[in-house]
Chain A
Amino acid sequence: MSHATLLTFIVVCALATFATRVIPFLALSRQAEHPLILHLGRYLPPTVMMILVIYALRDFRPLAEGQLNAGANGWPMILASLVVVLLHLWRRNALVSILGGTGAYMAMVQLGWAP
């Protein structure tokens, strides 16, 4: 593939990505104070955050297709998530919670441990 073709592909992909980010700001710039926009501004972030958690844990599907199907890293994922939640409720230090959970997960995955 020529450099020019490759460059065109990258620029098109960059423009398409930026479009999805900028369209609301262009289309609704005058509506920022509208109560509906404020409503979304209040409730959408926590909703999205929780969805991202569910998405990140999607490989764990113990009941998919009616059988035990936790995925290779399913249980370590759930256990490490519990570590994160407990650490965070206990110390409320984001870095401690994240490092603790990630360390636990890496150890389980690399040592090949699963219940």
Chain B
Amino acid sequence: MSSANAWREAGALTLPVMFGYLPLGAAFGILAVEMGLPVWAALLMSLLIYAGAGQFLAVALLAAGAGLVEMAVATLMLNSRHLFYGLSLLKRFQGAGWRKPYLIFSLTDETYSLLTTLPPERTRDHALAWRIGLLNQGWWVLGSLAGALIGTTLDFDSRGIEFALTALFIVLTLEQARRLRRGLPFAIALATGLGALLLLPDRHLLLGAIGGATLILLGHYRLHRTAPGESHP
């Protein structure tokens, strides 16, 4: 596949993310500038941090005059769900060579979702994964920059466009269900997701649900390993 075609393929895959990242990135840029940050700081955050909720939190903490330690701890807490993403991609990213550091750096919720829903024959295509990662961050950086520079003068009524990310997650869940054809992960997700929704405050919801689901999967693994008739050497 020629280079142009390869980028076109990755571009088509990231289109739904673009519809979400451009407006959300712009919202971040607008917020950062309104909170008194210079444009370069907003741009640098999208380049170096590259975490949606994490960046909104960072701006809020900066505005509130938080200290460095507080900032570091809050960021670690908020983004710790990424720990679990890495767990399920350990094998996938093996042999990715020079692309591996960026593949790991660019692992947002949306990029993780796209990568884990690629058809099986493409899962070892590290160049494709790298292009998807780069394009997704490109949309995010572009949105933040546009928001920081021209945000408040924009006239286009884009209210509701961020639903594109919700729609993306729904589509990817359907694709995962079609591929796996097992109810277990979805039952676990329903239980932990709704449980967290009822029991946890908003900011701990994702971590609580994903952490809880991982624990249940660990338990399921142990049961499976020790179940009679399914003995492993």
Contacts and interface: CB of A to CB of B under 8 A. Distances in A.
A44 B177 CA distance: 12
Contacts of A95: 12, 15-16
A32 B94 contact: yes
Nearest to B72: A16
Nearest to A29: B90
Majority secondary structure, A binding face: helix
Interface residues of B, number: 92
A27 to B, nearest CB: 9
Contacts, number: 262
Interface residues of A, number: 73
Contacts of B109: 52
Interface in B70-89: 71-72, 75-76, 79-89
B105 A18 contact: yes
20 contacts: A13-B72, A13-B75, A20-B82, A20-B83, A24-B83, A40-B218, A41-B89, A43-B188, A47-B188, A51-B189, A51-B210, A53-B173, A54-B209, A56-B166, A77-B163, A84-B171, A94-B168, A98-B16, A98-B164, A106-B160
Which 4 pairs of residues, A with B, have the shortest CB-CB distance? A24-B86, A50-B189, A54-B193, A45-B116
